[in-house]
Structure 1
Amino acid sequence: MSSIADGSSVRYSIAARLERLPMTNYQRALFGIIATAWFFDSMDLGAMTFLLGSIRTEFGLSATQAGLLASSSFLGMFLGAAIAGMLADKFGRKPVFQVSMVFWGVGSLMCGLSDTVTMLMIYRVVLGFGMGMEFPIGQSMVSEIVPAKSRGRYIAILEGFWPLGFIAAGILVYFMMPIVGWRGIFIMLAVPSVFVFIVRRHMPESPRWLAEVGRHEEAESIMTRFEQRVRQALGGIALPPVVETFKAAPAAARKAGFADLFREGYARRTIMLWILWFFALLGYYGLTTWLGALLQQAGYEVTKSVFYTILISLAGIPGFIFSAWLLEAWGRKGTCVLMLLGSAVSAYFYGNAASNLVAPGQLIAAGLCMQFFLFGMWSVLYAYTPELYATRSRATGSGFASSIGRVGSLLGPYIVGVILPVAGQSGVFTLGALSFVVAAIAVAILGVETKGRALEEVSQ
């Protein structure tokens, strides 16, 4: 085994040792801890889709004001994603991951205790800040503990907890809204943060990151425990031999920081990801945040609008499953372009169906297609992004991509509120469709393929 004093050797030894491990219940348990937070984050954020119409009615908000309220969480997410990524690359994944729970829980609780729309906006920003911290760290941690042959599938499955949380939020609102009101829903959603905070204490720090920043003894210690737990999960049989099949840059050439995202070999990837995240999230949140409210405005009663939104969201489950399979069978780049173009076409047809008050069956069919591709798109975004950066800057790169995306998600709901009175629902969904097309073009021209390659190999 490589000497601990030899930083470069330890770095590659840790990576090679992780890559050769088979997937066991131990790695799946760690994955489950991360995925649980994804699920509850989705519930908190998705709740606004189902509650916006009622909140708008209670406070007498205009379309523009409702758009601002819907966008407030994304301001917090913009700040949280950028800051957390840099902090996680400097201080570690685990401590920053834990701190995010505090902002998330307090923000959700205070949303439920808000008696003015201004206070509600402020605490939606706090809630969003905690959520924004989650995403780049969760992506990075899953990427760094799951071997290359399974990495894309597991990150896609991680993102699959997003539609599950969104659907769960709709079900919660459907049954509990008449009993506790929208404030009670937010208070209920604060409770899981305590559970997740406690469970996360069992997460180890990323040995890849520890080796990368020179904390070699800690990296070796955690890696050894990691291997022991995997061996126990396999019933005590011997682990596969370590095979180092890739090389990386010398340690002296490695400098972490924001500028690292634009160094030779990374600038093109960063530009592609920023365009992708901005336009994908502009389209996604501009449309989905307003789904329930738009159906109500089109003439559907509150309970029906919530029911229809839940129903069409069910297509997100096969959407992310199909995307998770296609990521490994076909590749990241092609799957990403397919999901974006599918989202564009289906969003356009859904917008026309909703605005023309067609038969519910046609509306639901168009909505099912739209959610299938939208949630498939999310799976690719989260699988693809962290693979494009080296360990030293993975959380920073993922964080800033996510943060740029939050600018799009911040603008999306607001833009919808502005153009809705002018262009109507068909115009709103056409704008969303065009956003997805722009994102697809960026990936097709600037994207690189990462399927089946070790992180250290891709980082070259």
Structure 2
Amino acid sequence: MNPSASSSPAPSTVVAAPTRSQRLDRLPFTRKHGKLLGASGIGWALDAMDVGLISFVIAALSVHWELSKGDGSLIASAGFAGMAIGASVGGLLADRIGRRSVFALTLLIYGLATGASALAMGVGALIALRFVVGLGLGAELPVASTLMSEFAPARIRGRVVVWLEAFWALGWILAALIGTFIAASGPTGWRWALALGLVPAIYSLVIRWGMPESVRFLEKKGRTEEAEQVVRSFEASAGIDADAAHQIRSDEIAEADPVETTGGIWSRPLRARTAGLWAVWFCINLSYYGAFIWIPTLLVDRGFDLTRSFAFTLIITLAQIPGYAAAAWLIEVFGRRWTLTVFLTGSAVAASFYGLSETEWAIIAAGCALSFFNLGAWGALYAIGPELYPTRVRGTGTGAAAAFGRIASMAAPFLVPVLLAVGDQMVVFAVFSVCFLLAAAAAFTLPEQRGRSLAE
């Protein structure tokens, strides 16, 4: 017997009647995938622009309306309260009426509400409108990541979702530019900044009519002919004709997630991963929004004028881009769990240094490090979330985790003034550092899904 022959891999065979999911998983990244990523990413960037703008609006109103930190916290938290409800309801709706439909609806809701916010004549009206904005924002993000996850080829799915999340950096940079050059331009600058939020309402029409619906969702609803048409359109984009579509070799099929369940997200097979995911979402939301919503205002408190504060925030925001790039590469090299854990740990170290920084260059350097690691962690988190659940509860699972995290983002704006009253900015960022470490510990409990096919 030849030893080398016994250790050689078994020859691949053609799989009879491969599923549509298997046919999607074996595809290369095509122009069709690129168009879907671009369409979803633009919506994601507009979402980030809206979330980022409110931090600049609060800082501007603290000057022009003499807005108190308490009122600023209410404005920010109202949006996060809406996001908590929106994420939960949006996930449920995505599992019932479709990912594409909910994605378009959320863009319409928050776009119209943001535009209306520009006309607010008082704090009360702004708080109410920010709540409505949050309903749309909260629902969009988990639904968009779910839709992209269900189309991306298994071997690069994590990387593709991090690319999607990277559009957040573009939106936040756009918010920083608008904040620096428009919101800070005068007493009415913040109104013109919010008026730009009408763009998502217009873009929702593009989403509704230009994007395909999830194949896995269509199959669950018995709409097999539509599902087949969508799969064939992606295969055609890859140069695979109808005769070759079913010629899949066994070595082209990704290993499926072994989880089996007929229950909900808290059923026995899913409860550990749900608990771990919720813990990460809660801690990262508390630290991220606590820091980045207040950084422009905290810089003003340190003695920097409004324009300089916004300029510093813009520089710090630019560091998000290499953070996403690093996470997109590492997530398919080291896996989701290690990437998420390392970036959260890096966020904890950076937060500690930011709290200790006193000079301009130290503040910018520590802020850039915090931005780099924190946004890289967000990319990995959005990649792993949809992979933890089977198709029928994927939207529900990702939406529920996001909704739980939004509870922390509601509390974060109120937490910062309390911590400042107890101590100083060093205390604030020490608390955020501890939260990042807790999130890293929870992340390490999640199952590794690199290269696996999504559970049906």
1:455 aligns with 2:454: yes
1:322 aligns with 2:299: no
Q: Which residue does the alignment assign to 1:206?
A: 214
SS at match of 1:47: helix
Q: Which residue does the alignment assign to 1:69?
A: 75
Report how far residue 168 of structure 1 moved: 1.2
Q: CA-to-partner distance for each residue in 1:350-381, whole Å, 9 max, x for gaps?
A: 0121xxxx321121111111111011111111
Comparing 195-204 with 281-290, greater Cα deviation is found at 195-204
Report how far residue 219 of structure 1 moved: 1.9
Q: Which residue does the alignment assign to 1:306?
A: 310
Q: Which amino acid aligns with 2:374?
A: L
- Alpha-carbon contact 1:21-1:240 (below 8 Å) kept: no
SS at match of 1:205: coil
Comparing 42-51 with 298-307, greater Cα deviation is found at 42-51
- Alpha-carbon contact 1:66-1:417 (below 8 Å) kept: no
- Alpha-carbon contact 1:323-1:335 (below 8 Å) kept: yes
Q: Which residue does the alignment assign to 1:385?
A: 385
What does 1:347-426 correspond to in 2, within 5 Å? 347-353=351-357, 358-426=358-426
The 3 A distance-change label for structure 1 pair 297 and 237 is farther
What does 1:106-117 correspond to in 2, within 5 Å? 106-117=112-123
Q: TM-score, normalised by structure 2?
A: 0.91
Report how far residue 198 of structure 1 moved: 2.5
Q: Which residue does the alignment assign to 1:337?
A: 341
- Alpha-carbon contact 1:59-1:117 (below 8 Å) kept: no
Report how far residue 240 of structure 1 moved: 8.2
Select the structure that is richer in helix. 1
Partner Cα separation in structure 2 for residue 410 and residue 347 of structure 1:
20
Q: Which amino acid aligns with 1:111?
A: S
Partner Cα separation in structure 2 for residue 297 and residue 417 of structure 1:
12
Report how far residue 49 of structure 1 moved: 2.0
> What is the aligned-residue identity percentage?
37
Q: TM-score, normalised by structure 1?
A: 0.90
Q: Which residue does the alignment assign to 1:271?
A: 275
Q: Which amino acid aligns with 2:70?
A: T
Partner Cα separation in structure 2 for residue 31 and residue 389 of structure 1:
21
Q: Which amino acid aligns with 1:342?
A: G
Q: CA-to-partner distance for each residue in 1:58-96, whole Å, 9 max, x for gaps?
A: 333332222121211111110111001011101111111
Q: Which residue does the alignment assign to 1:430?
A: 430
Q: Which residue does the alignment assign to 1:221?
A: 229
Partner Cα separation in structure 1 for residue 405 and residue 207 of structure 2:
29
Report how far residue 164 of structure 1 moved: 1.6
Q: Which amino acid aligns with 2:309?
A: S
SS at match of 2:264: helix
Q: CA-to-partner distance for each residue in 1:171-225, whole Å, 9 max, x for gaps?
A: 1121123165101100012224303432441111111111123332332233233
Q: Which residue does the alignment assign to 2:155?
A: 149
Partner Cα separation in structure 2 for residue 88 and residue 260 of structure 1:
15
Partner Cα separation in structure 2 for residue 423 and residue 242 of structure 1:
63
Q: CA-to-partner distance for each residue in 1:394-437, whole Å, 9 max, x for gaps?
A: 11100001111111111111111222222211111111111111
Partner Cα separation in structure 1 for residue 62 and residue 178 of structure 2:
19
Q: Which of residues 42, 53, 56 is equivalent to 1:47?
A: 53
Gaps of 5+ in 2: 1-15
Q: Which amino acid aligns with 1:309?
A: T
Q: Which residue does the alignment assign to 1:6?
A: none
Q: Which amino acid aligns with 1:318?
A: P
Partner Cα separation in structure 2 for residue 407 and residue 111 of structure 1:
23
Partner Cα separation in structure 1 for residue 383 and residue 261 of structure 2:
24
Q: Which residue does the alignment assign to 2:285?
A: 281
Partner Cα separation in structure 1 for residue 211 and residue 309 of structure 2:
40
Q: Which residue does the alignment assign to 1:89?
A: 95
Cα RMSD of the aligned pairs, angstroms, is 2.2
- Alpha-carbon contact 2:287-2:436 (below 8 Å) kept: yes
Gaps of 5+ in 1: 1-8
The 3 A distance-change label for structure 1 pair 122 and 243 is farther
Question: Between Structure 1 and Structure 2, how many residues are aligned?
Answer: 436
